[in-house]
Structure 1
Amino acid sequence: MSLDDPLIDEAYRVLAERPGFLIRRLHQIHVSMFVEECAEFNITPVQYSVLTALAERPDLDQVTLGAQIGIDRTTTAGVLARLAERGLIQRRASPVDKRMRLAAITAEGRKLLRRMDKKAQRAHDRTVAPLPKEDRAAFLRYLLHLVDASNDYGRAPLHLP
């Protein structure tokens, strides 16, 4: 579809010229693809991101973990509680600060990630599949650039180590 197509409704043309509208819509599409591919695992994309982050860096506190994937403290707490209920992560008090709880992925969580990897990757691949192969890496670079350049405007800025 092209904005130059005379069959495109004018109302859609106005929306289609708004990056925020298109980004939100693409996110909705990706989440649907992820849910379709990964339905058997009963894991949301955010939960998958949390498990992935904990697989790479165990024993993260809630604030650091949220900052690494760009979700707020309340959302992080809810996600961690649901993952802990399923035995996919474990939480313990920090030896340095007893008020702080650390999260770590369990063996069961790692096993689930391994089982999910191909299907989750398929959802990611399907999201960019309509683009020509030679444009996919550039699209991801542009997305990364936009996120990085405007990161501080997010409700929960992303802070990578």
Structure 2
Amino acid sequence: MRDDDQREALPSGARTSPPNSPEWNEALTPPTRTALVTIETREDAVNQRYPGPRRPAEETDPGRARPVADLSTHPGQLARRLQQVTYQLWTAVVSTETTPPQFVVLNSLLADPDIDQRTLGERASLDRSTVADVVARLVQRGLIRRVRDPRDGRRNVLRLTQRGEATHSHVASRVERMNDLLLSPLNADERTALRSMLTRIIESVPAISAAEGTAAV
């Protein structure tokens, strides 16, 4: 799922629209569009730095002087396709109302209640503007509520309502089903290896980004 929670602002008629469709793109907020441009630009820079196999130009267009990249082997493109497949399964199996970022927030508050919004964003791996939007929507739905921190009356903390706990329980069981379907082509050892490799990549990105700096375009 896109980290900036593209589906949060979708109208009800577009909730089953796939990523990059006109309905999807029109529903994005300006900050989300800006973030997507930044992400895609940096993805292109990574793909250029670590290209996949290339086909000779004459195989595709004899008139081209430069080889054409086979994007089907690029890690960034494969990650994007996996994201699209996961989104399709989510809407088909899990929910068209509760989005993946909303579920992450519900799950984080179930595990660690009475935390402030900034801490919640860190737990859920959501940026400040996204977590603010998700929290506002969940409060509006009556799934979480803001309360005064009993240890510090100057700030608010967040906790699940009974309805929020029930929604989490309902969605969590469907998420397990979705994960089984998503990983069904893999055996147990392959599933473990995939999770391990994805975790290693995700955890290494901050260090790689710091070393590389901002990509020039």
Q: TM-score, normalised by structure 1?
A: 0.80
Report what 1:158 is aligned to: none
Contact 1:92 1:101 in 2 (8 A): yes
Equivalent runs, 1:106-125 vs 2, <5 Å: 106-125=161-180
The one of 88, 111, 114 equivalent to 1:59 is 114
Contact 2:113 2:158 in 1 (8 A): yes
What whole-Å deviation, never above 9, does each CA across 1:36-76 have from its counterpart, x for those lacking one?
11236x10001001000100000111111111121101100
Report what 1:82 is aligned to: 137
User: Aligned with 2:98: secondary structure?
Assistant: coil
Residue 13 (structure 1) shift:
6.9
The one of 78, 84, 90 equivalent to 1:28 is 84
- 1:110 to 1:15, Cα distance in 2 relative to 1, 3 A: same
How many residues get paired? 145
Contact 1:34 1:124 in 2 (8 A): no
Residue 131 (structure 1) shift:
2.0
Which structure has the higher relative contact order (CA within 8 Å, separation 6+)? 1
Alignment partners' CA distance in 1, 2:145 and 2:68:
47
Unaligned ranges ≥5, structure 1: 4-8, 155-161
State the percentage of identical aligned residues. Answer: 30
Name which one, 1 or 2, has greater alpha-carbon Rg. 2
Report what 2:160 is aligned to: 105
Unaligned ranges ≥5, structure 2: 1-52, 54-58, 61-66, 211-217
- 1:45 to 1:146, Cα distance in 2 relative to 1, 3 A: same
Alignment partners' CA distance in 2, 1:113 and 1:24:
27
After the TM superposition, which of the residue ranges 114-123 and 12-21 deviates more from structure 2? 12-21
What whole-Å deviation, never above 9, does each CA across 1:110-152 have from its counterpart, x for those lacking one?
1111112221111122222222332001101111111112246
Amino acid in structure 1 at the alignment position of 2:88: S
Residue 35 (structure 1) shift:
1.5
After the TM superposition, which of the residue ranges 69-78 and 116-125 deviates more from structure 2? 116-125
Report what 2:198 is aligned to: 143
Alignment partners' CA distance in 2, 1:129 and 1:102:
39
Q: TM-score, normalised by structure 2?
A: 0.60
1:15 maps to 2:71? yes
Report what 1:68 is aligned to: 123
